[in-house]
Amino acid sequence: MAEITAVPDEPGQPPALSAPVLAQAASQSIVREQIITPFDVSGGVDETGKVVAINYDKLIDTFGSKKIDQALLERFEKVTGHKPHRLMRRGMVFSHRDLDLILDKYEKGNHLFLYTGRGPSSDSMHVGHSIPFEFTKYLQEVFNVPLVIMLTDDEKFFHTPKLSLEDCHKFAMQNAMDIIAIGFDIKKTFIFIDTDFVDGGHGGAFNKNVRVIGKRTTINQIKGTFGFGDSNNIAEFGFPAMQSATAFATSFPFIFGTNTKQVAKIPCLIPCAIDQDPYFRQCRDNAGKLGFVKPALIHAVFLPSLRGAETKMSASDPDSSIYLSDTDKQITKKIGNAFSGGQDSRELHRQLGGRTAVDIPFQYLRFFLEDDDQLESIRRRYESGEMESGELKKLCAGVLQEYVGAFRKRRAAITEEVRDLFLRPRGLEWGDRKADAEMRAREIEVLEKRLAELKAA
């Protein structure tokens, strides 16, 4: 019996299952468990041959991470003084490693930094790419800390036979401008492209950490974590040390200083899609042995394709994606053709209602519509049959037109000169964490005192 071959994906994106693969699964009724690695993502196939959506609760058990529950959301809001992002409130940012410890350190006034990245596989970005960066921007504003963004042009070159190193570098330069247009603070953000930074004059400390981590990592560990075999090139085996090194503050002395003993204690919080977790399990396994703080992670789900929840929004498939460069007319057309959870007839829809769990326009509203009450009202109306698919699609198109339109305006202002400033190694601004913590403690004390007075009244 033939096996289904999962299509390699770019990190941070859900599975690219082609029509032939889906047909093969359906006809042969092959049961297959879901596979989630940075290079191979598949939602699995059930006993009837149906391709099923990714089970994120099962991933938490498999990976050994922790669910972000209501108690942690409440602690996040109390410690930071900020309402959790809509992705956190709605369970799309759903899992973590040591976020609770990060909040403990932040509450005590300790420094931390953020780290995220992208593998530049094309010169275009879609809304599935922008969402993780938007969430990272939110975290940067909440914690008021430095952010390092890694563009892995070398990794894309290693893993993608059809791409040249020059192609990947060109994509990285274009992607950097799109990422900047999300709205990051230049005073607190350093973006680097691997081939430029590692080979440049400021990459010495970074390279040192790559070597130290590489020495601690065995071939068997890499094979077990990523599923590599004898056909993978040697550069692929070495790259995890590169991605790990960015999680350590000592890799960036021009930002964090040269007192390596003190700098090594600065924790890192990594917002990423769940498929990137294997990289950092390796990193966390080795961190303590090397005198570093284990990086903390906060995991997001994947944004589904316009075609349905079982496939990814792919930059190589225009009909599956909403690009950040799409016009209002293109967005309206694409959302109009998106997979719907509505019933086959108007009468049946009014009787049974829409299926929000599989309806792509509704799922996109969960990602992009800020107002929780409005989203709940839409859900009730659609599931009751009061709202039809056409009305839901019109609402979704309007929300995405506003989101993409705002991005286009910001992107038009990003010049190559602005990009080069973000890419230049330099010192970044740090807030006075001790003073911030003391002020926040005073604010919380006043609020709690006022609440007690109100209850007693």
The 3-class SS string of 107-128 reads: HCCCCCEEEEEECCCCCCCEHH
- In angstroms, the CA 128 to CA 341 distance is 21
**60-95 burial: b if 16+ Cβ within 10 Å, else e:** beebebeebeeebbebbeebbeeebbbbbebebbbb
Distance CA 106, CA 102 (A): 6
Query: E-strand spans in 37-145?
Result: 41-42, 66-67, 93-97, 113-118
Token couple for 19: 């029509």
Residue 118, strand partner residues: 151
* 39 secondary structure, DSSP code: S
Global pTM reads: 0.85
Q: Which residue has the tokens 């191979």?
A: 40
The two structure tokens encoding residue 204: 């010495």
CA angle 194, 195, 199 (to 5 degrees): 110
Dist CA 444 CA 120 (whole Å): 43
Q: Quick one: tokens of 103?
A: 């909040």
Task: Tell me which residue has tokens 């050994």.
Answer: 64
Structure confidence at residue 446 (pLDDT)? 64
Identity of the amino acid at 41: V
pLDDT of residue 323: 92
Q: d(Cα 178, Cα 132) in Å, to the nearest integer? A: 13
CA-CA distance, 221 to 363, in Å (whole number)?
Answer: 37
pLDDT of residue 123: 86
User: Mapping DSSP to helix (H, G, I), strand (E, B) and coil, where does residue 389 land?
Assistant: helix
Q: Of 346, 330, 340, 328, which is closest to residue 364 (Cα–Cα)? A: 340
Residue 270 C-alpha from the chain's centroid: 9
Given this model, what pLDDT does residue 7 score?
35
* pLDDT, position 5: 34
Is 86 in contact with 276 (CB distance < 8 Å)? no
Task: List, for the chain, all residue ranges whose pLDDT scores fall below the cut of 50.
Answer: 1-20, 22, 25-27, 435, 439
Note whether 136 and 272 are within 8 A (CB). no
Rounded Cα distance between 248 and 250, Å, is 5
Residue 227: the pLDDT is 86
In this prediction, residue 442 carries a pLDDT of: 56
- The pLDDT tens digits for 211-262 are 999 999 999 999 988 889 999 999 999 999 999 999 999 999 999 999 999 9
C-alpha closest to that of 150 among 110, 112, 190: 190
CA distances to 20, 103, 132, 378 from 100, in Å: 44, 5, 20, 33
Q: Are strands 268-273 and 296-300 parallel, antiparallel or unpaired?
A: parallel
Check residue 11 and give its pLDDT: 40
DSSP per-residue codes, 391-445: HHHHHHHHHHHHHHHHHHHHHHT--HHHHHHHHS--------HHHHHHHHHHHHH
Q: Which residues of 382-420 are buried (b: 16+ CB within 10 A; e: fewer)?
A: bbebebbbeebbebbbebbbebbeebeeebeebeeeebe
The residues facing 93 across adjacent strands are: 300
Q: How far apart are CA 62 and CA 427, in angstroms?
A: 39
